[in-house]
């Protein structure tokens, strides 16, 4: 047992000799405590959580290789890769995970909070009314009173609209509307208007995913990939990433490529993983472009041509969003 394997056990709070199920259970418990999305309003804690999550993921992957294949960081089951290549792939995977977390946070921020939007709109309306009053230079008390009443009515209207929207979304989701089920799942994932609940979010995303909602399929794959509200399961993660990828979702194509490239939930296949990276790049996923540029330096011209041909086949088969 190497020093790195011993450190991996320590990172997950386990004694050497712990089984693979114990490793997965310890990782799931700790990743829920340290997931960066739990600290959206505290940059310092979020940065610390990102570092801790990275260490936990690396520890989990090292122990999984060690326990399943008897593989240590200095002995990979691939055909004679150099130490430099292993380090590059580890660094690339860390960059992928950081980028994916950033994308998830952007998605959370993009969908967050009717309340903040309503307050901002109410402020903008108030400022607009004040500017119009100054321009007209009619500081009559009657007009001021009308404006105040109007602003109160606007604020109340927005509040009623938000409450009605919450009820409408839930009612539509319960009636089987896939888009409403996805939106309700996002509310539970973000804790917007409802208590934050990863398990409840995963349930609603599964309902929408089973009806073919691409982003719900991607979110469900991410949940299984990271054990968020469901047991961590690479095979299930691949299943839902694949469904979303075949609907043209570039983020899902990128993550499916990662699963192939590192052999997570599917037999390890560098060529297939690279082809999915190429497809994700062609569909406009920015990080895929940066990753492909770094990976292609490791390939021969023949290898690049073969992977490009496979990506072109996928591009013809899969619709664009």
**pLDDT tens string 17-53:** 888 888 888 888 887 777 777 777 777 777 887 888 8
Distance of alpha carbon 101 from alpha carbon 163, whole angstroms: 30
Note the pLDDT tens digit of each residue in 95-143: 888 888 888 777 776 766 656 766 777 777 788 877 777 766 644 443 4
Average predicted confidence (pLDDT) for the chain: 82
Domains of the chain, residue spans: 3-111, 233-321
Give the total residue count for the chain: 321
**Which strand (E) or helix (H) includes residue 133?**
helix 114-136
Residue whose pair of structure tokens reads 């497809």 in the numeric block: 279
What is the CB neighbour count within 10 angstroms for residue 304? 17
Q: 3-111 maps to which CATH number?
A: 1.10.287.110
| Cβ(280)–Cβ(250) below 8 Å | yes
| Cβ(111)–Cβ(190) below 8 Å | yes
pTM for this one? 0.50
């Amino acid at each position: 047992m190497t020093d790195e394997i011993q450190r991996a056990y320590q990172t997950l709070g386990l004694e050497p000799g712990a089984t693979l199920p114990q490793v997965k259970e310890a990782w799931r418990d700790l990743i829920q405590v340290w997931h960066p999305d739990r600290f959206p309003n505290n940059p310092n804690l979020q940065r610390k959580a990102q570092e801790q999550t990275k260490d936990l993921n690396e520890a989990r992957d090292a122990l999984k290789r060690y326990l399943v294949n008897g593989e240590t960081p200095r002995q990979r089951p691939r055909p004679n890769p150099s130490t430099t290549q292993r380090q590059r792939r580890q660094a690339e995977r860390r960059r992928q995970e950081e980028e994916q977390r950033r994308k998830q946070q952007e998605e959370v921020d993009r969908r967050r909070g009717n309340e903040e939007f309503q307050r901002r709109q109410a402020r903008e309306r108030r400022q607009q009314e004040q500017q119009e009053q100054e321009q007209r230079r009619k500081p009559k008390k009657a007009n001021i009173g009308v404006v105040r009443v109007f602003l109160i009515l606007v604020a109340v209207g927005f509040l009623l609209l938000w409450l009605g929207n919450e009820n409408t979304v839930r009612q539509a989701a319960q009636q089987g509307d896939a888009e409403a089920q996805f939106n309700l799942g996002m509310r539970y994932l973000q804790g917007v208007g409802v208590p934050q609940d990863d398990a409840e979010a995963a349930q609603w995303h599964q309902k929408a995913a089973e009806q073919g909602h691409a982003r719900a399929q991607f979110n469900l794959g991410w949940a299984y990939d990271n054990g968020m509200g469901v047991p961590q399961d690479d095979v299930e993660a691949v299943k839902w990433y694949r469904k979303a990828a075949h609907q043209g979702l570039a983020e899902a194509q990128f993550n499916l490529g990662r699963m192939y490239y590192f052999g997570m939930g599917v037999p390890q296949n560098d060529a297939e993983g690279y082809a999915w990276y190429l497809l994700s790049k062609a569909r406009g996923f920015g990080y895929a472009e940066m990753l492909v540029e770094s990976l292609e330096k490791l390939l021969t011209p023949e290898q690049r041509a073969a992977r490009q041909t496979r990506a072109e086949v996928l591009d013809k088969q899969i619709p664009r969003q």
